[in-house]
Structure 1
Amino acid sequence: MIGAGPVGLSTALLLARWGVQVLVLDRRPGRDSTGSKSICQQRDVLDIWAAAGAGRVAEEGLAWTTARTYYRDRELFSWSFEREGTLPACVNISQARTERILDEAVAAQPLIEVRWNHDVTGLTQDASGVTVHCGQRLLRASYVVACAGARAQQVRQALGVTFDGEAFDDQFLICDIRADLPGWENERRFYFDPVWNPGRQVLIHPCPEGTYRIDWQIAPDFIPTKTDISRKIRQIIGDRPYELLWHSTYRFHSRIASRMRVGRVLLAGDCAHLLAPFGARGLNSGVPDAENAAWKLAFALNGWAGEGLLESYHAERHAAALENLEVTAATLRFLVPKTVEQRMRRRAVLEGGVAEEVDSGRFAEPYWYVGSPLTTPSPERPFHGRPPKGRSCEPAPGVILPDLPLPGGRLREMCRDGFLVLLGDMCDSGLFVQVLGKVITAPLAVRELAEIDGTGSLAERLGAGPGEAWLIRPDAHIAAIIPHAGPESVVAAVSRALGGSPDDP
């Protein structure tokens, strides 16, 4: 593992959960624990961290519920997250605290070793593994996951991977403050063109322990002084007392690696894609990279699957990165119009205040593997596209399973130990177990929905009908929904979900 940031540590924890020994290398001398950095973590990422042993992120984070959008001094609209399961839809927590929680989980895991001061300068591969060059030191691994961040040029160059995209001129000033702001404690606020930042945007997020994160879009050549920062904060909070905890400026990039898998090396997180910050799609896509990589590498290492499954990492996560770039690029065209026509349209939309037309950044959501080679399509359950903002997607092949509450737990907690077959009424689970056990070597469990929830409410909420079989992947995505299911049709779906042909035995 290259990189001990949140994506690298998440990958290590998830691999260790599958019994894989992991060595994590990081070029830094130790943990940098200052600044909020990436703060918004959505429900599906919290679910992954809970499975990895870092559920405290959800427990300690501040669960904000409402997003308000303003144009100058007028509120245009607000929206709230849909309630689902027991995990909050989103929490705000500093990246520094998230990393400490992950560090503690890693320290408790004997299968993981972290080595600081190890700068990876090159990679060479052969048929049996990867040689990792740390200056004159050479280390050997069966596979490598590169989570070394945006500045991992040497790693990408060693793999022959390009990192095309663009950088943006405008800067952003970030400030973490502690202040008493009644009514703001559970609300995200986005301001277009406020009088105290004319022509640009401001974003305000509540964080734990009475702290707030404020992002100002500022001019490319503006170098803020302490006086400038104080003035900008006062324009928002008035004469209330406050404490400035941290501040920084940054420019953002939109870039994507040409390949996210090169032989035995997988690229994940900022090493593979950089996104504009609107919608919090950075870390919220890096952690799903980690989960996707971890279960597929574990299956390959255990001989449960082969080349097709590993290659699907690139197919699925590169497609996810492209969608995130598309979504954030549309937001940027609205936030930072470059032509007269774009500026006129933006102004007209903001003055009209129609919520569906105002783009302040569609919040992070899981990528749905509808077109994945691992997914068995179902004409009876087509994918209907992105749901309205803040709402969950209807179940369909490729979509992540809803995280529904169960007696004593959550539905997704049943999905992390291998493939899961959920059977509706009129299915003989014993027959399915007998047939699947003869041809599938990968971990797989068969459960009847009526057995999991005798009230029938689980089947009703899923929309699962009699005679249906639902195949769920180890990352909780639905691989297939098969009507009038027999064991043979489920075997074909499992084979496909393992990266083989649907006709493979």
Structure 2
Amino acid sequence: MDPVIVVGAGPVGLTLSLALAAQGVPSVLLDEGPGTEEPRPARTVVLREDSADLMGRLGCRELDRVGLRWSGWRSIRRKQLVRNVPLSGGGGAEDDTALTGLLPAPLHVPQHELSAALRAAVDKAPLVQRVPLSRIDTLEQDPDGITVHTREPGSTWWRGSYLVGCDGARSTVRKLLDIRFPGRTAVERHAVAALRAELPWPDEAVLHRQPPWRTGGAEVSARPLPNGVWRLDWLLPPRGELVTPEALITRIRDTLAGWCGETPAYELLDTGVHTLHHRLARRWRKQRAFLAGDAAHLLGAVGTQGLDEGIRDAENLAWKLAHVWHHGPAEHLLDSYQAERRAAVAARLRAADQSLPILRGGGGLRTLVPGAARGHDTLLSDGHLGCGALGAPPSYSHSPLAPPHTEAHAAVGTPPGAPVADVTVTAPDGTTTRLRERLGQGHPLVVLVAPGTGVWDRRHWQTAGVMPRLTDAVAALPGSTELLVTESYPGASAHTVLLVRPDGHLVAAFGGVRPAELFTAARTALGGAPHEAREPVEPGDGESGGDGDGPDTGRGQGSRARVHADGSAGLH
């Protein structure tokens, strides 16, 4: 099959090509630019926990060196501290969020550093062909593939199996597909400065609403980067006058003096004005062509992060294209990309649009309501910290890939469709790792909750309890599936079996080994309708429990159950 054509070599396009390569799918990455990016310290991105983890899995592990995980979040209103939130993993600590009960620290990175790390990983990936100075001007589709033409200086035709437009807000792919891009213009405007200075809150992000100095405006935020660098953002009137350099310098000096008592020594590195728009493409798929990132949506008001959503687009689409590329057409699976991701971004946009009148509506009776300021602060904090309706990772509970609920399903701490908790698991080679480290390899995961496996000798529990029956059930699943074991999972009892999608979202949890229900859920999650699934031969009746001494596990701990191309099952 022809490679996937990815148009646009920004962070989303680079991420998509790397995610495809990790799943054995070649891609041609058409880069409109020369393949480099001018350093702009004032242009930064905030990666939530799931996005930062994906960057690490794709080979960008040095981002913790060029970026910074905040140690805390501080909200101030006028002269009063409203909220002080410590964050897990901040300041380079290796805290386990599940153990500490703290919110995970976002990773704040200059965008040019993120792009450089992704490009370096792409250049090492043999399945990715990056072509600079390649701007498309023609797109043609047929039942077997898609063809695009690039303009001079590298005028040529490219043939691909599918195409993904990751070419930004002014997407050429979206225009060639004649897809509308409605929304709102200039929802928020921010004056931005990157500077090196010593502020009173090392490694903490700060949101200051209604600061008491004259040039503070309605809101100013400070977000730390390594080496004493800070990004400062001042909220501007949506359609105010241009910000002159002199006015911006005055804002900087007044803000630093307001925080430090007097203006400290500082080094100004970069400035700019950032205008935020809210837009959502009507369609994200047209036959063999897809949209992702800013080509499909624009958001960013009240702390929401557009790049985070673009990275989630890439992760969601990559495993679906990989499954189709390796196993043949599955239109229902490809359609689910738009159904899941467009709905998730639309919900984020609705939440932001509903919050804007409350947060930016000015005075009136709202200011007299007890607790109103604290409630407003919580809304803004949610957007910045990646929680609540404005920031939490999406849940695909109403996905067309969700299996029907049955009595065999068990409730755990993760709702169906939500991202799984990053627990410690036993991998196929017998070593321990984090669950997220096993994601993005193109196959679902089956995780058995088996307390005690960490202290028992593997020789005793590999053939004990439910493991032999679960191994047989996993070997019978459609496609390739990896079997893992964990000592515990939030809200799960012993013998619970979790089915996890390749992108880390929970398909279903079962109380014990239920081969028929597990097969149906796996088949549905891979794009097959539930009624199309053939039930495997049951090795036994009813729910399986433990037998013998020791933890309820068994043969195949950490083993990899595969179904070969000829339909035979095997263990590796």
Per the normalisation by structure 1, the TM-score is: 0.88
- Contact kept? 1:60, 1:208, Cα under 8 Å: yes
Q: Distance in 2 between matches of 1:358 and 1:288?
A: 24
Stretch of structure 1 that moved more, 195-204 or 44-53: 195-204
Q: Distance in 2 between matches of 1:435 and 1:379?
A: 18
Aligned counterpart, 1:255: 279
Closer, same or farther: CA 4–80 of 1 in aligned 2, 3 Å: same
Q: Distance in 1 between matches of 2:290 and 2:368?
A: 45
Matched, 1:445 2:482: yes
Closer, same or farther: CA 328–469 of 1 in aligned 2, 3 Å: same
The secondary structure found in structure 2 opposite 1:81 is strand
Q: What's the offset of the Cα at 1:91?
A: 1.3
Closer, same or farther: CA 465–378 of 1 in aligned 2, 3 Å: farther
Matched, 1:465 2:493: yes
- Contact kept? 1:164, 1:257, Cα under 8 Å: yes
Q: Distance in 1 between matches of 2:303 and 2:270?
A: 22
Residue segments in structure 1 that go unaligned for 5+ positions in a row: 385-392, 450-457
The secondary structure found in structure 2 opposite 1:188 is strand
Q: What's the offset of the Cα at 1:381?
A: 11
Aligned counterpart, 1:371: 398
Closer, same or farther: CA 465–63 of 1 in aligned 2, 3 Å: same
Matched, 1:121 2:137: yes
Aligned counterpart, 1:227: 246
Stretch of structure 1 that moved more, 161-170 or 492-501: 161-170
- Contact kept? 2:420, 2:506, Cα under 8 Å: yes
Aligned counterpart, 1:103: 119
- Contact kept? 2:474, 2:483, Cα under 8 Å: no
Aligned counterpart, 2:306: 282
Letter of the 1:434 partner, please give it: D
- Contact kept? 2:359, 2:376, Cα under 8 Å: no
Q: Distance in 1 between matches of 2:250 and 2:498?
A: 57
- Contact kept? 2:30, 2:134, Cα under 8 Å: yes
- Contact kept? 1:46, 1:58, Cα under 8 Å: no
Q: Distance in 2 between matches of 1:352 and 1:187?
A: 24
Match 2:97 to one of 68, 84, 87? 84
- Contact kept? 1:84, 1:404, Cα under 8 Å: no
Q: What's the offset of the Cα at 1:67?
A: 1.6
Matched, 1:72 2:78: yes
Q: Distance in 2 between matches of 1:169 and 1:484?
A: 50
Aligned counterpart, 2:466: 428
- Contact kept? 2:20, 2:322, Cα under 8 Å: yes
Q: Distance in 2 between matches of 1:217 and 1:274?
A: 18
Aligned counterpart, 2:520: 492
Closer, same or farther: CA 405–221 of 1 in aligned 2, 3 Å: same
Q: What's the offset of the Cα at 1:123?
A: 1.8
State the Cα RMSD in Å.
2.7
Q: Distance in 1 between matches of 2:484 and 2:340?
A: 27
Matched, 1:166 2:175: no
Q: Distance in 2 between matches of 1:241 and 1:466?
A: 59
Letter of the 2:444 partner, please give it: F
Matched, 1:347 2:367: yes
- Contact kept? 2:413, 2:491, Cα under 8 Å: no
Letter of the 2:380 partner, please give it: S
Stretch of structure 1 that moved more, 412-421 or 313-322: 412-421
- Contact kept? 1:378, 1:397, Cα under 8 Å: no
Closer, same or farther: CA 225–356 of 1 in aligned 2, 3 Å: closer
Q: What's the offset of the Cα at 1:378?
A: 4.9
The secondary structure found in structure 1 opposite 2:117 is helix
- Contact kept? 2:196, 2:267, Cα under 8 Å: yes
- Contact kept? 1:34, 1:246, Cα under 8 Å: no
- Contact kept? 1:40, 1:280, Cα under 8 Å: no
- Contact kept? 2:73, 2:85, Cα under 8 Å: yes
Q: Distance in 2 between matches of 1:231 and 1:160?
A: 46
Matched, 1:47 2:71: no
Q: What's the offset of the Cα at 1:486?
A: 1.5
Matched, 1:292 2:311: no
Letter of the 2:468 partner, please give it: G
Matched, 1:419 2:428: no
Q: What's the offset of the Cα at 1:51?
A: 1.5
Q: What's the offset of the Cα at 1:68?
A: 1.6
Letter of the 2:309 partner, please give it: S
Letter of the 2:484 partner, please give it: R
Stretch of structure 1 that moved more, 67-76 or 94-103: 67-76
Closer, same or farther: CA 264–169 of 1 in aligned 2, 3 Å: closer
Aligned counterpart, 1:5: 10
Aligned counterpart, 2:548: none
Matched, 1:210 2:228: yes
Q: What's the offset of the Cα at 1:357?
A: 6.6
Aligned counterpart, 1:483: 511
Aligned counterpart, 1:359: 379
Q: What's the offset of the Cα at 1:332?
A: 2.1
Matched, 1:144 2:163: yes
The secondary structure found in structure 1 opposite 2:126 is coil
- Contact kept? 1:63, 1:88, Cα under 8 Å: no
Q: Distance in 2 between matches of 1:370 and 1:169?
A: 30
Aligned counterpart, 2:544: none
Q: Distance in 2 between matches of 1:322 and 1:381?
A: 32
Pairing of 1:306-345 with structure 2 (within 5 A): 306-337=330-361, 343-345=363-365
Closer, same or farther: CA 403–59 of 1 in aligned 2, 3 Å: farther
- Contact kept? 2:188, 2:301, Cα under 8 Å: no
Q: Distance in 1 between matches of 2:129 and 2:44?
A: 25
Stretch of structure 1 that moved more, 221-230 or 243-252: 221-230
Q: Distance in 2 between matches of 1:365 and 1:206?
A: 22
Higher Rg of the two aligned structures: 2
The secondary structure found in structure 2 opposite 1:209 is coil
Aligned counterpart, 1:191: 208
The secondary structure found in structure 1 opposite 2:394 is coil
Stretch of structure 1 that moved more, 130-139 or 316-325: 130-139
Per the normalisation by structure 2, the TM-score is: 0.78
Q: What's the offset of the Cα at 1:11?
A: 0.5
Count, aligned residues:
481
Q: What's the offset of the Cα at 1:71?
A: 1.7
Aligned counterpart, 1:389: none
Q: Distance in 2 between matches of 1:72 and 1:85?
A: 34
Q: Distance in 2 between matches of 1:351 and 1:490?
A: 47
Match 2:147 to one of 104, 123, 131? 131
Deviations 1:69-106 (Å, cap 9, x if unpaired)? 22222222222335526996311111111111111111
- Contact kept? 1:274, 1:282, Cα under 8 Å: yes
Q: Distance in 1 between matches of 2:520 and 2:327?
A: 19
Stretch of structure 1 that moved more, 189-198 or 268-277: 189-198
Deviations 1:8-27 (Å, cap 9, x if unpaired)? 10001110111111111122
Q: Distance in 1 between matches of 2:437 and 2:226?
A: 27
Match 1:397 to one of 416, 420, 427? 416
Aligned counterpart, 1:410: 434
Q: What's the offset of the Cα at 1:28?
A: 2.1
